[in-house]
Amino acid sequence: MPAVWLKAGKEKSVHNRHPWIFSGAIARQEQGIAPGAIVDVLQSDGVWLARGYINPHSQIAVRLLTWDAIEQIEPNFWERRLRHAIKRRDSLRASTGTNAYRLVHAEADGLPGLIVDRYADWLVLQSLTLGIEQWKPLLAELLLNITGCKGIYERSDAEVRSHEGLRFTNGLLKGGQPPAPVRVMENGHLFAVDVCHGHKTGFYLDQRDNRSVVAQYCGGAQVLNAFSYTGGFSIYALAAGAQNVTNIDSSADALRMIEVNTTLNELPAQTKVLEGDAFQVLRRLRDDALRYDVVILDPPKFAFSRAQLGTATRGYKDINMLGMQLLRPGGILATFSCSGLVDEDLFQKIVFGASIDAGREGRIMHRLGQGSDHPTLLSFPESAYLKGFIICVD
């Protein structure tokens, strides 16, 4: 097996089973190793540490797959990993009320660079790294054999691919073409999902559990759902008996899907849609003295790099200040961040700062995170990215 040697003192993270080795930690490597190849990782003194795939064009030079010297990276390896990941979702698969969830969560399932989401009888795959790209045909075949699904659609359009030297790739990967849209069920609620063109892989599956929690506060309430997308939180709120829901999103197509999803669930059409930039619309609603019982803030990722952290912090503070100003006394703010670089402690400080600027006092009622189908590997805290609070605002 081709090998790379780490610099002296750089082996601690590997011993701690962290799956990333950065380029700066590598002292040397054998000549002629092809990008994407499987390599052995050795200490500076030649002691074997782990095995993974290499990409010298990426800042994350090696992504580790196994710490077992006997375990070879061959077709049976990938099949075992896929079966173990899918088995972890058995409770969701057995649920009659949910047939849309994540099957493979990259590093957290021992498969760095691979994302697979299930939408009823179709899979959506994201290949994020060169190493996974080279095994993609086999992985697609294994996934269809294991799940019995009708087809796999590829949505490899995440920015991380550019750091791997890869172009964006979207289209049918294997099997049949998914319908447009795919109809799925989540906790007994029906949703029409555009897996070919929608955000991420089509739907925000990581918010499944949080939608149920937020809905508990929506009975009889006037609800404002900012960054609503296709109305995930809105459908749950209406089903819980919300008096009405106002949705804000910049996408007209997404807002039209809210009407589709409302009809699918045979819910009263007590919704209003406002197309536009959420920051501007929230400010306009505040200036018009409109007030709500529940405000939901589920914005897209603001921080893609540490250089953007300052701008992201200001953005989160601004929308949370506006959200609090739009609440009646005793109202509920459900606020989220999916920026991995903004950890829960920083996010709480940002929301606290927003409360000071808004002149409001808040109490955290719930701390929220991503669903169980998006697990966090203990040795890889980076796999935890979604955090949220339900706050009672006086």
pLDDT digits (tens, 9 = 90+) for 52-79: 999 999 999 999 999 999 999 999 999 9
Residues 211, 341: one domain?
yes
Q: How many domains does the chain have?
A: 3
Shared domain for 345 and 209, answered yes or no, is yes
The verdict on 52 and 138 lying in the same domain is no
Residue 193 lies in a domain: no
pLDDT attached to residue 96:
87
pLDDT of 243-282, one tens digit each? 999 999 999 999 999 999 999 999 988 999 999 999 999 9
Task: With respect to residue 308, please indicate whether it lies within any of the assigned structural domains.
Answer: yes
- Separation of alpha carbons 235 and 212, rounded Å: 10
Average pLDDT, the chain: 96
What residues make up the domain containing 82?
75-182
In a shared domain, residues 19 and 107: no
- Verify that 366 and 349 share a domain, yes or no: yes
Q: What is the mean pLDDT of residues 178-202?
A: 96
| Nearest to 226, CA basis, from 182, 284, 268, 183 | 284
The per-residue pLDDT for range 102-140, each reduced to its tens digit, is 999 999 999 999 999 999 999 999 999 999 999 999 999
Q: Is the pLDDT of residue 204 over 90?
A: yes
Q: Which of 287, 295, 357 is nearest to 330 (CA)?
A: 295
Closest CA to 364 of 342, 344, 383, 380: 344
Question: Pick from 301, 104, 276: which is nearest to 200 by CA?
Answer: 301
pLDDT at residue number 84 = 98
Q: Among the residues of the chain, which ranges form H helices?
A: 12-15, 75-87, 90-93, 130-147, 160-163, 208-215, 232-239, 252-264, 278-287, 309-325, 344-358
How far from 84 is each of 77, 154, 254, 271, 378, CA to CA, in Å? Answer: 11, 22, 35, 42, 17
**Could you say which of 66, 85, 120 is where a domain stops?**
66
For residues 244 and 109, membership in a common domain is answered with no
Q: How much is the pLDDT for 71?
A: 97
Q: Which residues are catalytic?
A: 338
- Here the CATH number for the domain that contains residue 47 is 2.30.130.10
Tokens at 198, concatenated? 């929608």
Q: In CATH, what number is assigned to the domain containing residue 99? A: 3.30.750.80
Within 8 A by CB and 6+ apart from 96, the residues are none
Assigned token pair, 71: 């375990």
Nearest residue to 104 (alpha-carbon basis) of 80, 73, 72, 131: 80
Determine contact, residues 4/62, Cβ cutoff 8 Å: yes
Does the pLDDT value for residue 305 go beyond 90?
Answer: no
Helix, strand or coil, per DSSP, at residue 364 = strand
Asked if residue 296 and residue 252 are part of one domain, the reply reads: yes
- Of 46, 66, 86, the domain-final residue: 66
The verdict on 134 and 109 lying in the same domain is yes
Domain final position from 17, 49, 66 = 66
- C-alpha–C-alpha distance, residues 298 and 228, integer Å: 7
What is the torsional sign of CA 342, 273, 120, 187?
positive
Beta carbons within 8 Å of 73's beta carbon, 6+ residues apart: 38, 51, 53, 65, 66
Domain shared by 351 and 230, yes or no: yes
For residues 158 and 82, state if they share a domain: yes
